[in-house]
Amino acid sequence: MYGRTAPVAVVKLLVQLSARAAGIPARAPPGVRFFAASPWERNAPQRANYCLLSSYTRPSSYSIRSMSQTTVDPSETKKFQMLANKWWNEQGEFAALHAMNDLRVPFIRDNLLNVHAGRQMGKPLSGIRILDVGCGGGLLTEPLGRLGADVTGIDPVKDSVQTAELHSSFDPILRERVRYQVCTLEELVEEKVEAYDAVIASELVEHLLDVDIFIRCCHQVLKPGGALFITTISKTNLSYALGIVVAENILQIAPKGTHDWEKFISPEDLERVLEASGFQVKSIRGMLFNPLSGAWSWMESTAVNYALYAVKQNEEPQPDQAETPSEHNQEDEARPTASQTGSQSS
Ligand SMILES: C[S@@+](CC[C@H](N)C(=O)[O-])C[C@H]1O[C@@H](n2cnc3c(N)ncnc32)[C@H](O)[C@@H]1O
């Protein structure tokens, strides 16, 4: 769910119904800011410059090299190809992703700062190398760069990467800290072994052809002890109702056909895939989008959207530990996971 346009009465009813189903209050808790400028948005270049984008974006194809193992589902990249010049319209198709920065930027920043002490006033992430996979137009890449991180954004959709490059080119600070590349993680993996302190996959895994390959590649490019941050949509009846029926078909918050419920993954299954690939999950937090206010808030339940933070273990996983979610044994089921213990980030 990315944009926002809807008749208020319908929205109110749906928010109340969904909130009741998720066991949460329909209104955001006191103290949640609505539409306030975030600190990481400061110094953002003038939006007016970006009307250039519509003529800048060419109808070229996305890059897929011939390889036996790919995470790219061409039907997914086609959808983002169509929207490649819309990334920086804050009221458009990606409005909810813009708003999500209010949760995901502090989530990433604070968890990284627990491990890497802030080095520079105002630039707490300076010296930290981040890979933002499936960066799209750079909506998350840029604020991380403004916090001082050295960020590389990658995406297989060439026109989205061009949009991201053009947008960051207007800001001299970002020009030094942010770079973009048209590629997938599996194409990058050979040349970037243990190269990054953190990998971000925000609103990406629900678009992948193969999550296991993707997670293994994340493990390979991360330094030992490196951090993986994922935000995605859970696989529940409620996420089908809200993420597809309501968001795409009724409210048209996201373009129709953006999501395929079969590709959604529950926090429990994602945690199993991560642990089988040598990660330890540190924190999983539920998130909820309120289409009335256009704001996100944290919530207990991970039934709709969630953010996950995992750390690369120093030891390689044993071959017999590598299993698919459906193959996990009863012993695993007895062991409490971060999703079951309700582990929270600080
Ligand atoms: C919903 S957008 C999220 C964009 C960005 N992460 C954000 O949250 O603002 C998903 C992005 O993933 C990209 N994508 C799709 N399949 C991919 C793959 N296999 N590898 C890397 N990126 C992919 C799409 O082109 C698109 O830009």
Closest residue CA from atom 11 of ligand 1: 134
The pLDDT score that the predictor gives to residue 210 is 95
Closest residue CA from atom 9 of ligand 1: 139
pLDDT digits (tens, 9 = 90+) for 231-243: 999 999 888 888 7
Rounded to an integer, the average pLDDT of 120-141 is 94
Structure tokens at 242: 């809200």
* Domain locations along the chain: 40-233+260-293+302-341
Cβ(309)–Cβ(227) below 8 Å: yes
Query: What atom in ligand 1 is closest to the CA of residue 208?
Result: 19
Closest residue CA from atom 4 of ligand 1: 136
Nearest alpha carbon to residue 3 among 263, 247, 257: 247
Structure tokens at 12: 């109110």
Structure tokens at 279: 């990660």
The pLDDT score that the predictor gives to residue 212 is 96
The pLDDT score that the predictor gives to residue 96 is 92
- Provide the CATH number for the domain formed by 40-233+260-293+302-341 in this structure: 3.40.50.150
Residue 188: beta bridge partners?
none
Closest residue CA from atom 13 of ligand 1: 134
Distance 148 CA to ligand 1 centre (A): 23
Rounded to an integer, the average pLDDT of 82-103 is 95
C-beta 71 within 6 A of ligand 1: yes
Rounded to an integer, the average pLDDT of 68-96 is 93
pTM, two decimals, is: 0.78
Least confident residue range of 3-7, 66-70, 103-107, 291-295: 3-7
Confidence label for 29 from pLDDT (cuts 50, 70 and 90): very low
Distance 206 CA to ligand 1 centre (A): 9
Rounded to an integer, the average pLDDT of 127-138 is 98
Distance 335 CA to ligand 1 centre (A): 32
Distance 117 CA to ligand 1 centre (A): 30
CA atoms within 13 A of residue 215's CA, in its CB half-sphere? 29
Check pLDDT > 80 for residue 35: no
Query: What atom in ligand 1 is closest to the CA of residue 87?
Result: 9
